Each structure stands twice: as structure tokens, then as C-alpha cells.
Chain A
Amino acid sequence: MNFDFSDDQKLLADQVKRFLDENCSTAVVRQALEGEARFVPEVWDGLAAMGLTGTAIPEQYGGTGAGYLELCLVAQQVGAHLAPVPFGSTVYLVAEALLRYGTDAQKQMWLPGISNGSVKGAFAVVETMQQVAPDQISTAFSDGVLNGSKLVVSDGNVADLYVVLAQDGLYLAEGGNLKATPVDSVDLTRDTAAIEFNNTASELLTNDPWSALNALYDRAAVLYAFEQLGGAQSALDMAVGYAQERFAFGRAIGSFQAIKHMLADMYTAMKLAENNCYYAAWALANDAPELPLAAATARVGATQAFQLCSRDNVQVHGGMGFTWEFDCHLYYRRSNYLALELGALSEWEARLVDALPLQASA
């Protein structure tokens, strides 16, 4: 048994970490928080220049074809640095939809652009303030065009290419023929849009939208789980660092068991998530039959871990944790945004249980 990433994969992760340490500090993330655009182009361009948007895209379409284990570790670093870029929307969702359901012409048309960073993607699904279900989708396709509107689309303002859920299929739509309006979300470091399709020219990807959505979500859930894991680790590191430095009652606050034990619980949640993420990475890379269960397990655990670590990171910081100046709220915001992207925790809990075999041994 070898249940670990290889040295080459770890080396890649380290290179991504070093790039993001230098170019995507929380000061840079704050440009998205405070600025007009909730997107930092230099970070996106840098990731693309390293070939990272094409990590799992085959070389024939301009990618590096490195693979999904590598992509998982890249995702972890993107999450750890709260990168304000459409990495997940473009790489885990739109590129995957093309790879799985696109014609060769569609792949030739778009994947090289994703690989070199010139094309950014968004995945347009949600239309109502309810959990996604067939009766909640009104967007319709006919005569080569889409009509309808989407309530909340991550990265919808910066995207060049959209994968759209309609009543009878998943469609591919180019930017330009649609109206994207910026909206604020709980995470002000992530680009979010409301979108109207008004006779928007579109091409069919698949006419079996719900099974496609499930399959794409299973794959993307693993990668988003790695982002959440990275975020949980950063929030935990920040909390531990503060508990070591901050003195009260004449001692470092980390020496008080009330704080120490809270940090131990954060570590435990993070470690369980990490273990489940590793297994899901294996399932994703090998297209294993265990993928739906492994993905949901990684997703639920990583959502819990990031929410717990970001929440209690605020608590460890006390009043300072509730100021705009301290970075605690950046993790708190991102953890709660990611918890809803791809569907809420309760939906993933149900997916997990529905994927359990009749006799589960774990």
C-alpha cells in the first residue's frame, strides 16, 4: 500500500505554494474585497502561466496532462490562499464538462484557451432561493438559443464561457450574448453574478442534464474539498500562531486549556477531512466505482472542517477577530461560500448516505 502523494506531486504543490505565498497574500485578496472587481487578474495569469489551469487537461488540448492527483494539490493551495480567481468554476466544472460531454470540435475550440488562461469559465445552475431540483429550473433552450435567468453564478462576471443548466440539457454559451450583473455575496472576495439569457446562442453538451450534473458534481466535489481543506489548514495555522503570541493573564493564551482544546478539535476535524480528501483524490484519479461515496465523504468532512476552523479562528482572536482589519473574516466568509457552492451541506449528507453500500464497514 502507498497511500500518499508522490515526491513529484509534492514538489509541484510546493511550487504552487511558493508562487501564491509571494503573489496571493491576504493583502492581495483584500484587493478583491475592497475593489470594484472581485477578481485579481495577476493571480489568475500567474497560475495559468505555470500551466496549472491545464493540470488535468490532456496535452492534445493544450494542457500539461499531469493528472487529477496533481490537480487536487493545486486546489489545496488555491484554497489555502483564498485565491480570488475563477479557478474552480473554470477548471473543476467547465473544463470537466467539456472533457466529458463536449464534441471534439468544442474541446478544440475551448480547452486550449482554458489551459493558457485566456478563457475563464462559470457554471450557471441556480435560479431560486431553494435547493436545486428539476422543478426549480425554468431556463429553456429552443432554436439554438437559451432564455431564462440565473440567480447566483460564481465567477459569472469575469467568465468568457458558461455551462448552463436548462430544463432539458446542459448547454455551452459564450459571453457577450447575455447580461451579467455583479451581486454581493457573503464572500466579498469571490466574483458572483446574476445572469440573464436573452436569446443567447448556445450549443448542446448533453441532453441528460441531471445525471451529468451529478457526475460533474462528484468530480468537482473532490477538488472543492481540497480547496476547503487548504482553507481549514490556513485558518487553523492563523489561530495557532495567535494563541502562541497573544498574552493574557501573564501567559500565552494557547497555554489555557479552553483555547488549547478548541484548537485540538479544529485540528481533529481538519485531519479527518484531510484523510478523506486523500482517499477521494485516489478515487477521482482512478475513476473508481467508489467515487460518489468518496467524493461526498470528502465534501461533507471538508465543509465541516473549514466552517469549524474559520469560525473558531475568530473565537481564538477574540474581539480583534471581529475587525475588518484582521483576516479572520476572510476565511469565515470563504468557508461559508464554499459550503454552498455545488449544493449545501445537507444535500451532500444525503448524497453520502445514498451512496453507502448496504453493508458499510468503515
Chain B
Amino acid sequence: MDFSDTKEEAEFRAEVRAFIDANAPHYLNEHLQKSGFGNTNTGEYDALEEAKKWQKTKAENGWACLMWPTEYGGRGATPIQNVIWSQEEGIYSRLSGTFIIGQGMCAPTMMAYASEGQKQEYLPKLASGEHVWCQMFSEPHGGSDLAGLRTRAEKDGDEWVINGQKIWTSGAQHSDYGILITRTDPTVAKHKGLTMFFIDMKSEGIEVVPIKQANGNSEFNEVYFDNLRVPDENRLGEVGEGWRVSITTLMNERMAIGGGISTGFPEIYELVQSVQINGKPAVEDANVKSKLADWYVKSSGLKNNASRMITAVSRGEMPGPENSIGKLVAGNMMQDIAKFALDLQGQGGALVDPEVAEGSARFQAMLLRSPAVRIEGGTDQILRNIIGERVLGLPEDMRADKGIPFNEIPTGS
């Protein structure tokens, strides 16, 4: 066991630091540090504009999408170099939220299934932040049961005509392109009739409608397709192979989103040192210590899990389904921490005014946002199924739709 850099790694780290010192938007530091859960705080500056600017600076100097081949706008870096980059990019990575889905999920899918010409056309602009991409999988009738999706694609000459609706699409409102999974054959079993495309989000026949969420914000959208026409060359993978293609995307989701996951521990630990119980800092209270210890075990367990994952990746192994523990643990923990942080502030904890509530009301924001963390990108229950079936080898759930043609599956409506 050894946590230190090799000579080559140390040299690479020094190179990264020099670039960041010279080029990062240091004027945003104070705001970025205050970024909360799902919000990139850029103060008086426009968040999307600043994100694109930093991405462009990185790309121009060869520091965007490090692991991609250079011909697609990357650096051809090793996995461990990529890890070093993320460690050093630090708070500036909070500007990258806009690009995570495009670069982390759409791009690997394009690399695996698009033509060489398409890769050269689209990937460099995705790396440089010129184009934003989104991913359109979930539907009102296909969430946890993703393969139950209903958006239809029908062949018409060299084109496909698409009708239907997607939901929970992050960033669709400022996306230039997106990948879209559709049903092309409803007469076969549900996983077999799916086909994947990438589409121009500025096309006619697409309407993006923001969703007003339970916490009052709008990070997600509904996307409606009304006779959207997509050329056949935009198909990713064979007709009917969409499920297999989507696995590529979702496997990369684990890499893209599962990495440095927030748990709320540093925030609650700061709070218990300042807020008091009976005239003493809350951290001295035995009940508080017990909760803190439990949360620290979890956050430190996830951090050490990441170190083990990095070790595995540096040996050329892929992160496996066991990493599903990350979001399962962090989502629940964040919700518990938010509730406890409000509790420590008494009835005043109910206030959401950032001028009044501790830390710009970050715990109140966390309380109201955290239910979504336990749903997005795989619910707690789906994650437990993945651990149970793919890690522990338990038999799969009983399914009423197995082997039945999609259009004969009971829908309850």
C-alpha cells in the first residue's frame, strides 16, 4: 500500500497545478466555494457562460476530456492522470456540471457506435464546451423500468419519424444535441424492440418544457417529440439493439457521477462546532458524537472506496456494480444530515432565508433537494437490486412481463 505519487505522477501533477494556477478563473473562488447541492454558484457572473469559458480554456491547452484520444479533442491520458487532474481541478470542477452528461455518458456512446466522420465532427466540440449534450432515457412510463419506454420511432425512407415524450432530462434547455432511446418494434419483448439515436436538439418537432420540482427549482425538463425527423445515419447501433447501446451509456454513468460524491459530512461537522447545546458546542454532546461517528464511517468508507476504485482503474480494470453503494449511502446520509442540521437550529431551522439561516441556508436547500438524490440515476431500490443480483448473485425478481411482446404487457391504464 502506498498513497504517494510515482515520479511520473508527481511530474504530471506539477504540470496540472501550473496550468490551473495560471489559467483557472480564480475570481470565482469565493462563489464556487459556496456552491451547494445541485447549484453552481458563480455570483454575479453567468454560470453557463463561465462554464463554457473554462471548458474552452482547458480544451485549447489540451486539458479537456483527458482520457479521450487527441483526435477527438482529448489528451490520450491514462486513467491515473485523469484522477490527478480531477484532484487538482478542485472547486473549478464545479463549473463542469453542464458537460458531465455529454462528456461522461453521450461521448462514450458516440465513441462506441458513431461513424468515424461523426466522431470527428461532434466530439471535439463536445470536449471544448462549444456544444452541450443531453441524454433522453426516462419517460413517464419508463423510469426504474427503463425498458418499458414508449417513445416511437418509425422508419420512413432514409429517415425515422419520432413521436413521444421524455422526462427528467437535465440540461435539455441549453443542449445542442442529445442521445435518445426509442421503441422501434412494439411486437417483440420489451428489451428487444429498442433503438438508439443521436439528435439535433434545435430540430423542428422538439419542445422542451422545464419541470417545476418539489423544491421549487427547475434543473430538469420534459422533452416532447412531434413528428421529429431523424436521418438513419444518426442511428447508434443496429435497429433493435438499443438496450445494449444504453448499457454502454449507463456503465459510464457510474464513472461520471459516482466519483467524488457529496455526503454533507464536512458541512455538518462545521455546524456542530459552532452551534451550541446547553451552552457548549454541539460536538461535545454524546448523542451528536454518535451520529457524527456513524456519518464519518460512511463518508470515509466512500472516500476509501474511491481510492480502491482508482487503484483498480490504474490496473486497467472497469469499475463494477459494487460501486452502486456510493449513491445509496450518500443520498440517505445527506437527507439525514439535513434533517439533523435543522434540528440543531431549533424552530429557526425552518427558515430558508440565506441571509438568516446558517451557511446561506445550505442545510435547508439540502433538505429540500435530497429526496431527488435517492431517485435520480437509479433509485435506492434499484441500486439494492443491482447489489443483490449483480454483486451477491441472488436470483432476479419475479417479472410479469418476461418474454411477453411489449404491446401485450399489462399497463394498468
Chain A interface (Cβ < 8 Å from any Cβ of B): 1-5, 69, 240, 243-244, 251-252, 254-257, 259-261, 263-265, 267-268, 271-273, 275-276, 278-279, 281-282, 285, 296-297, 300-301, 304, 346, 348-350, 352-353, 356, 358-362
Contacts and interface: CB of A to CB of B under 8 A. Distances in A.
A240 B392 contact: yes
Given A1-B311, A300-B297, A362-B303, A240 B394 contact: yes
Contacts of A353: 283, 289, 292-293, 296
Interface residues of B, number: 53
B388 to A, nearest CB: 4
B340 interface: no
The dominant DSSP class at the A interface is: helix
Contact of A268 (B4, B292, B310, B328): B328
B297 A264 contact: no
6 contacts: A1-B3, A5-B1, A268-B325, A297-B297, A349-B290, A358-B273
Given A254-B388, A255-B394, A282-B1, A272 B381 contact: no
Contacts of A300: 293-294, 297
Given A1-B314, A267-B391, A271-B325, A260 B308 contact: no
Interface in B277-303: 283, 286, 289-290, 292-294, 296-303
A300 B296 CA distance: 10
B168 to A, nearest CB: 23
B286 A3 contact: no
B305 interface: yes
B384 to A, nearest CB: 4
B136 to A, nearest CB: 28
Per CB-CB distance, the 3 closest pairs between chain A and chain B, nearest first, are A272-B301, A349-B293, A275-B304
B269 A360 contact: yes
Contacts, number: 163
Contact of B1 (A2, A256, A263): A2
A176 to B, nearest CB: 42
A255 B307 CA distance: 32
Given A300-B297, A346-B286, A360-B296, A244 B2 contact: no
A350 B289 contact: yes
A349 B299 contact: no
Contacts of A348: 293
B346 interface: no
Interface string B378-392: 000101110111011
A47 to B, nearest CB: 24
A2 B312 CA distance: 9
Nearest to A279: B304
Contact of A255 (B303, B387, B398): B398
Contact of A360 (B265, B385, B398): B265
Nearest to B293: A349
Nearest to B394: A254
B3 A272 contact: no
Contacts of A69: 1
Contacts of B292: 349, 352-353, 356
A362 B296 contact: yes
A254 B266 CA distance: 37
B178 to A, nearest CB: 32
B293 A244 contact: no
Contacts of B388: 254, 260-261, 263-264
Given A261-B384, A356-B269, A252 B395 contact: yes
B158 interface: no
Nearest to B5: A1
B80 interface: yes
